[in-house]
Every structure is written in C-alpha cells, then in structure tokens.
Amino acid sequence: MAAVDLTSHPGHLARRLQQAHHLLWNTMVSEEITSSQFAVLNTLVAEPGLDQRTVGERVGLDRSTIAEVISRLGRRGLLDKVRDPRDGRRFLLRLTDDGVRTHRRLTVRTARMNQVFLAPLSAEEQAQLLGLIQRVADAAEGLRDPAEPLITR
C-alpha cells in the first residue's frame, strides 16, 4: 500500500494551521487566555448579557466545552453570571471590568498576530482564504445537527 499525499487532506492542513496558530497565540497574545476564551470575551463585548448556550453557539463550542471555558473565565474574575430575571433557571453572562480590560489588551495583540499569521498572502489572497475557511466552517456546523443537510457546491 502506498502512502497518501497529506497535502491534499484538509484535516491534516487544518491541524498544521492550528499548530501554527497556537504557537503564535501563546507567543504574541497570551499564555493565560486561550483563543476560545478570547472568543467568549469578544462575544460578550459585542452582545453583553447572553446566556451560556447562545455564547457557545456564537463561538462554535459544544455544551461541555463552553461550560468549561465559562467556568475558567469566571474563576479568573473576567465574567460574572447573573440570574435571568425572566427565567430563574438561566444565567446571563457579563464581563467584569477586568474582563473588559483584558479583552481590550488582547484585541490589539490578536490584530498583530493575525498580520503575522497571514503575512505569506497578499491582501486579496487573505480575503479569499478567510472567505473559504468561513464557508467550510459554516458548513461543518451542520455536522453537529444531523437534521440540517450539508451545504454543497
């Protein structure tokens, strides 16, 4: 049996990209706050007061992962859970002042990291790559819900 060419395997290339992103994130952005945690902070800056399930949907994390991310951010004092006055079983999430400051600080760093990450590409190629990755990621979200058909082109 012959070896396969992994350069034609999107999963292999995505893993390599993720490794590069992780390295750049830890070196240029933060060793304490993960990119998933930053995504949650960013979502709550854009839409304060969302519940945990909705934040998870916005950032593309499953229920158990978003629960852990929220818990870690809460322990760090970056967000608070507030009981929903309309539904006592539900908690709404809000950034603390420290959470807002942390988001502001990391936003500058993520912008620089993204410049470095995409530097091998022209501006047009960067836009094209991001658009293609977004389409694949959006279609992959359908894999979580078998009731939704996959989008094909």
Q: In this predicted model, what pLDDT tens digit does every residue of 110-147 receive, in sequence order?
A: 999 999 999 999 999 999 999 999 999 888 877 765 55
Q: In whole angstroms, what separates CA 58 from the centre of its chain?
A: 9
pLDDT above 70 (res 148): no
Element (H, E) at 138: helix 123-141
Tokens of 113: 């990291």
pLDDT above 60 (res 150): no
Sign of torsion over alpha carbons 120, 123, 125, 130: positive
Long-range contacts of 142-151 (CB under 8 A, 24+ apart): 144/62
3-state DSSP call for residue 76? coil
Compute the distance between CA of residue 90 and CA of residue 82 in angstroms, rounded to an integer.
9
Structural domains of the chain in order of their starting residue, each with its CATH number: 13-141 (1.10.10.10)
Compute the distance between CA of residue 110 and CA of residue 94 in angstroms, rounded to an integer.
22
151 — pLDDT class (breaks 50, 70, 90):
low
DSSP state at residue 7: G
